[in-house]
Chain A
Amino acid sequence: MPLFEGLGSGGEKTAVVIDLGAAYTKCGFAGETGPRFIIPSEIQKPGQQQSIKVVQYNINTEELYSNLKEFIHTLYFRHLLVNPRDRRVLIIESILCPSHFRETLTKVFFKQFEVPSVLFAPSHLMSIMSLGINSGLVMDCGYTETLVLPVYECIPILSAWEALPLGGKAIHKELDGLLVEQCTVDSDSSTGQSLPTVIGSIPEEVVEDIKVRTCFVSDLKRGLKIQEAKFNLEGTAERPTPPPDVDYPLDGEKILHIKGTIRDSVMEMLFEQDNEEKSVATLVLDTLVKCPIDTRKALSENLVIIGGTAMLPGFLHRLLAEIRLLVDKPKYRDALATKSFRLHSPPAKPNCTAWLGGAIFGALQDILGSRSVSRDYYNQTGRIPDWCCLSSPLPESVYDAGKTPPPLMKRAFSTEK
């Protein structure tokens, strides 16, 4: 029997909520407590072993369109198991997402899958909704970058954003380098071989698994000592005792001996401040400095940390300690009067918090309906409104029917009526 249920069953069907991250996509339905699936944002082309990342900003439109089409297809028909034409779509996005990517994604949804409507919701804003508060300083530690955006009374303070390319991608690169440089591999025929001689390069999936299972973030005292020992050229600073080594099984009965020193030191790159004295902790303070003075206390006492990278063991504790240490340094001591920092614990894991906010928002059917871009509007105008673009015409539903069509944004001194 057809899947098309009658509308009498209590209104519209629940909307689909998708958080399309650079590394992982969280997808599910509005009103639920967590995403149904967290899957890698990749597609597999038949015949090719290497999977293709879906979120790429530098490829041409055709290729991007085709990748997105295939990916969204698996989302609907392998995971969510619903008909795309029946449900509104809420997409959680980063405010720094390039317009070209956004527009291509919209086109895939409307033209290929004919969804009824689409709404792009900023991840930082949605995270606030998962807490029932109106203001918060949200830091998203993701794969490509760490992005901080403050939200005050439900409005993002766009001018105060701060970002650094310190995320999962950078960690994997650093970890890979350390493993190749320092670790040995035992295979069934030999022992103690260097990595490149045995298996060539390590797939990123494996590096990620090593990161998740064996690495952690030391606390402030220990971390500073590790950094000191690393940068100390005379060799006088002594490094804290490293944690035990780990024997990590690779494919084909090979064993990778991961040195303990790597396990606690690779994460220091998030806090090292070697480039222009910036770290993920300084991002928070730099953002605060940019915010209006009367908002700062509300923001500093409502820190919200989201994103997969924030789930590393010891990360949150270290972050808070770093912030408190830095706020007393000369650079910030006089600029910021607020010294109290408090951290929220949203009712979801950090990698799903933005998704959860979207699921809560998406459950408000009227609001979602009135603020979404409908397929009709898209077909008429051919574009999706963007926060950075003022020239999108307003859809007619905002105005009463029967009156003359609304004027587009006019200059203040125009004499036209």
Chain B
Amino acid sequence: ITIIRDSHAHSCISTWLNAASVCCLENMPSAEAKLKKNRCANCFDCPCCMHTLSTRATNIPAPLPDDPSKTAMKKAYYLACGFCRWTSRDVGMADKSVASGGWQEPDNPHTQRINKLIEYYQQLAQREKLERDRKKLARRRPYMPLAFSEKYGLGTRLQRQRPGAPITSLAGLSLKEGEDQKEINIEPAQALDEVEPLPEDYYTRPINLPEVTSLRQRLLQPDFQPAGASQLHPKHKHLLIKRSLRCRKCEHNLSKPEFNPTSINISSECQVLLTLTNPVESITHVTLVGCEEGDPEDINSTAKVMVPTKELVLAGKDAAADYDELAEPQDFQDDPDVVAFRKSNKIGFFIKVVPQREEDGDVTVSFKIRHDFRNLAAPIRPSEEDDAPTEAIWLTHHVELSLGPLVA
């Protein structure tokens, strides 16, 4: 008996992504995550060692708003790293009067210029689109120069932009001669004659190594990449992704990772379609039974399985079945909840699988398969009766199925 696993049951898993903050265990809906650039609003990373910063409070004397001559203790908050002793005061960030929400990340100084550039190119792109549409609608004139005609293939490079051909990708995006320059305007960047040299004392002054940022520290702030540690500003902590898996067929949540250990849900069940093929020519009866607790053969299963309780009947292998159109189909009265399909000596049936652990490895199930077997080989001792029916014996096998990983 051969068992074929249907792999379709597992590619039917759909995934969706949710962001969650590991530091404050806050789940963020995807729209909000997008707006905040996948960073937590509350928590910061230490720019030196990447651990999460904690907010510390001190009391500082501050003049009372009503009576400036008197002072009272006011709470001031600053950020500090418990691991490397970095504080927000090291980079000149003023203490804030609120515990959270007061600290801002510095803006990229080039933002305005970049937005202007994008606007400019968008206008050029619109113009190109208009021209392209106009060309499509305009009638082809018969006296067009040969160079532009279809006969020679591509025409001029500037006329046809080949998708995927990177060289010409910008060819259209420039103002051509004679075009109206009034609407579209950008100040082209000015190149400079001189570059700032290194300061004189660079060659002689000793380096204070802890003050110089490492490459890794710089790369964490792509917009600034400061060389001096006194310019390393903390960034909001990056969120982690939760990849939730859901079976498309039964709409059950298979796995929904949680960062908060107090709210873990064990995943739900899914149906798997198995195909059983009968290699012998006689009818075979098959019963499936789950493994008992403490079964010595059941060592690798990582999921519970519920097998059909009814007996499955498989028709014998009939080599002529494909060609015999007049053969009457045998009526087995299959239960549609159990048997998915039947084709000559094959049968497809469902089992229910409940993964027990959210593992990275394969989902494995075990069960026992019990079937009858008739030995049709000729007996050694010729019997006295002809065509004596051979005795059926029942065999039980242990089956272990690896259903593949939970991930789609």
Contact = CB atoms under 8 A, between A and B. Distances in A.
A100 interface: no
Contacts of B162: 385, 392, 394, 398
B245 interface: no
Nearest to B194: A320
Given A81-B38, A153-B174, A303-B191, A212 B215 contact: yes
Nearest to A399: B150
A33 interface: yes
A352 interface: yes
Interface residues of A, number: 105
B160 A398 contact: yes
Contacts of B31: 5
Given A209-B215, A347-B114, A364-B125, A317 B197 contact: yes
A243 interface: yes
Contacts of A384: 164
Contacts of A125: 166-167, 169-170
A222 B198 CA distance: 12
A213 B214 contact: yes
Interface string B352-376: 0000000000000000000000000
B173 A154 contact: yes
B16 A119 contact: no
B182 interface: no
B17 interface: yes
A352 to B, nearest CB: 6
A244 B191 contact: no
A320 B191 CA distance: 12
Given A154-B173, A158-B167, A387-B167, A132 B187 contact: yes
Interface string B190-233: 11111111100011111101001111101100110101000000
B110 A218 contact: no
A131 B188 contact: yes
A201 interface: no
A347 B113 contact: yes
A156 interface: yes
A48 B167 CA distance: 41
Contact of B203 (A131, A156, A241, A342): A241
B196 A347 contact: no
Nearest to A5: B31
B122 A364 contact: yes
Interface string A1-35: 11111000000000000000000101000010111
B241 interface: yes
Interface string B275-315: 00000000000000000000000000000000000000000
B95 interface: no
A272 interface: no
Interface of B: 15-19, 29-31, 33, 37-38, 108, 110-111, 113-114, 117-118, 120-122, 125-126, 128-129, 136, 150, 152-154, 157, 160-171, 173-174, 186-198, 202-207, 209, 212-216, 218-219, 222-223, 225, 227, 238-241, 243
Closest 5 CB pairs of A and B: A347-B110, A342-B191, A385-B164, A131-B189, A154-B170
11 contacts: A154-B173, A155-B157, A155-B170, A241-B204, A311-B225, A342-B193, A344-B191, A361-B121, A373-B163, A377-B163, A377-B164
Given A36-B37, A121-B166, 6 more contacts: A132-B189, A213-B214, A219-B198, A363-B118, A366-B126, A372-B163
